[in-house]
Structure 1
Amino acid sequence: MIGIVGIVIIFVMVFGGYIAAGGKLGIILKSLPYEMAMIGGAAAGAFTISNDMAGIKHTMKDMGKVFKGPSWKHHDYRDLLCLLFELIRLGRANAVGLEEHIEDPENSSIFQRYEKIAADKEATALICDTLRSASMNYDDPHQVEEVLEKRMEANLHHALHGSHQLQALADGLPALGIVAAVLGVIKTMGSIDQPPEILGKMIGGALVGTFLGVFLAYGFFGPFASKVKNVVEEDAHFYQLIREVLVANLHNHATNICIEVGRQNTPGHSRPSFTELEEALKEAKQAAA
């Protein structure tokens, strides 16, 4: 919703200010389809050249994050801490019993109590792989921590692909707008024998290209890239929380301490209070009983 509000503000303030100053939309509207075809087509072509099909789909999907926001909400962080609590507690009480859950999370009674987390393949794989590593009796928990760090860096780099591509489009659009404007000037020069009122409209139409390129770059694609980057980085905190809790577990801290480490590393606006988490953990114990 906030993304739509931003778009409305952009249109109202830019074109409202133009009209209030006495500007006429006629020239812009007449030239807009042709300028949009040139600039938009060139941008789409450049985007296609620089990406494979997977990259194109990834970027198109990421644009929805501008309007949807982060995938993980306050209650998801609370549920994640409860899930990790159940798994760690079970692993310490019955290591063999834990194996059936981490080897087949799709049919795990524990994972299925937290459907949204279970549906996320990366979160599930990260939890299961790390708990599996813990069962291998690593001499140095820092080895697992280093592997997790590299894995998460790679995942974040991949997740930011859409943001990088949108920013590349934003960087290129002003130049493509100049290309469209130059073509408009060339067309105008071919009609130099026309009256001034006609030449004025033709030059105005040519300048629409420059306007459109800059407007799309700084009014849309640049902010879209920034928003996607912010959302991806915020969602990455969810996976970092998994790492923090499970690394604490590798160091053999008490289960409640491991969970508190995770709670403290949760972003402030999504962090459950100590009391709220205690209540949720009590409910998780009762459900497991």
Structure 2
Amino acid sequence: MFQIIGIIVVFVMVFGGFSLAGGHFDVILKAMPFEMMMIGGAAVGAFLIGNKPKTVMKTLGDFAKIFTGPKWKAQDYTDLLSLLFLLTKTMKTKGVIALESHIENPKDSAIFTRYPRIMKDHFAVDFICDTLRMMTMNLEDPHQVEDAMEKQLEKHHHEAADPAHAMQTMADGLPALGIVAAVLGVIKTMGAIESPPAILGGYIGGALVGTFLGVFIAYGFVGPFAAYMQAVYDEEHSFYKIIQDVLVAHLHGNAAQISVEIGRGGVPSKMQPSFAELETALDQIPSEVG
């Protein structure tokens, strides 16, 4: 919602101010299709040149995040803590043997299948299962496990945030592409130097539209879009950090309830369940699960 409001504000303030100052839109409207073709087309071409196909497709797929925000909602964080509680409790009370069937085939696990939204995230499920698998292989040094998890998280976050980096690179290049369009407009003007001043003025105005559009699009839209996408990726990353916090706390010998309480502290404030809310969620888990 705020992104849509922001877009409207940018347009109203820029073009409203231009109009109130006595500006005329005829030069802008006449030059805009050709300038946008040069600037926008060059920006898209440079975007395709500078990024892997996977990044290009992910950018197109993730663009909606600018308006929808992070995929994880408050209930998802509560579900994640409940899932980790069940896993760590099973491991502590029944041993690693009881856990093997769940981590080897999570799709048929009575624990994992309770939380279908988490099941749809392949990285989250694989991250949990791979870490627990390391624990069942007697890798119980909390520091080694934490280091291994940190490397996985860093790699995943870097790859997930590629679209934000790609868009920021595009934003950085747009002003220069606007100058390219403006220079071409000046070349056109110089080619018609013998024309009357009124015509030359229109040519120069059209050339300056290129500079305006490059800067306007870069700093008014693409740059802010890239910044917000990065913020979304950072918040989504905290979901996976909670997995690390809980499982490392478990390795330090904490009870399942304490481990998930440590993980609860890493939940973004606006999504964080209270102590009582989490306790209620854990109490609602049927005793036969696991």
Residue 171 of structure 2 is aligned to residue 170 of structure 1:
yes
Spell out the pairing of 1:165-244 with structure 2 (5 A cutoff). 165-244=166-245
Which residue number corresponds to residue 39 of structure 1? Answer: 39
Which residue number corresponds to residue 52 of structure 1? Answer: 52
For the 8 Å contact 1:180–1:209, the answer to whether it is kept is: yes
Stretch moving more, 85-94 or 238-247: 85-94
2: CA distance between counterparts of 1:7 and 1:263?
A: 35
Which residue number corresponds to residue 124 of structure 2? Answer: 123
Amino acid at match of 1:223: P
For the 8 Å contact 1:174–1:210, the answer to whether it is kept is: yes
TM-score, with structure 1 as normaliser: 0.97
Shift of 1:158: 0.9
Residue 3 of structure 2 is aligned to residue 3 of structure 1:
yes
Deviation by residue 1:145-190 (Cα, 9 ceiling, x = unmatched): 1000111111111112111111111111001000000100110111
The structure-2 alpha-carbon separation of the partners of 1:85 and 1:285, relative to structure 1 and needing over 3 Å to count, comes to farther
Which residue number corresponds to residue 63 of structure 1? Answer: 63
2: CA distance between counterparts of 1:224 and 1:130?
A: 35
The structure-2 alpha-carbon separation of the partners of 1:93 and 1:273, relative to structure 1 and needing over 3 Å to count, comes to same
Unaligned runs of 5+ in 1: none
Which residue number corresponds to residue 80 of structure 2? Answer: 80
Shift of 1:139: 4.7
Helix, strand or coil for the counterpart of 1:288? Answer: coil
For the 8 Å contact 1:163–1:228, the answer to whether it is kept is: yes
Which residue number corresponds to residue 91 of structure 2? Answer: 91
Shift of 1:68: 1.2
1: CA distance between counterparts of 2:266 and 2:68?
A: 24
For the 8 Å contact 1:86–1:285, the answer to whether it is kept is: no
1: CA distance between counterparts of 2:285 and 2:122?
A: 22
Runs of at least 4 residues off by over 6 Å: none
Helix, strand or coil for the counterpart of 2:273? Answer: coil
Unaligned runs of 5+ in 2: none
Which residue number corresponds to residue 257 of structure 2? Answer: 256
Percentage identity across aligned positions?
54
Amino acid at match of 2:177: L
The CA RMSD over aligned residues, in Å, is 1.3
The structure-2 alpha-carbon separation of the partners of 1:24 and 1:268, relative to structure 1 and needing over 3 Å to count, comes to same
TM-score, with structure 2 as normaliser: 0.96
Stretch moving more, 252-261 or 55-64: 55-64
2: CA distance between counterparts of 1:218 and 1:32?
A: 18
Stretch moving more, 129-138 or 172-181: 129-138
For the 8 Å contact 1:118–1:124, the answer to whether it is kept is: yes
1: CA distance between counterparts of 2:280 and 2:263?
A: 16
Residue 26 of structure 2 is aligned to residue 26 of structure 1:
yes
Amino acid at match of 1:140: D
Helix, strand or coil for the counterpart of 1:284? Answer: coil
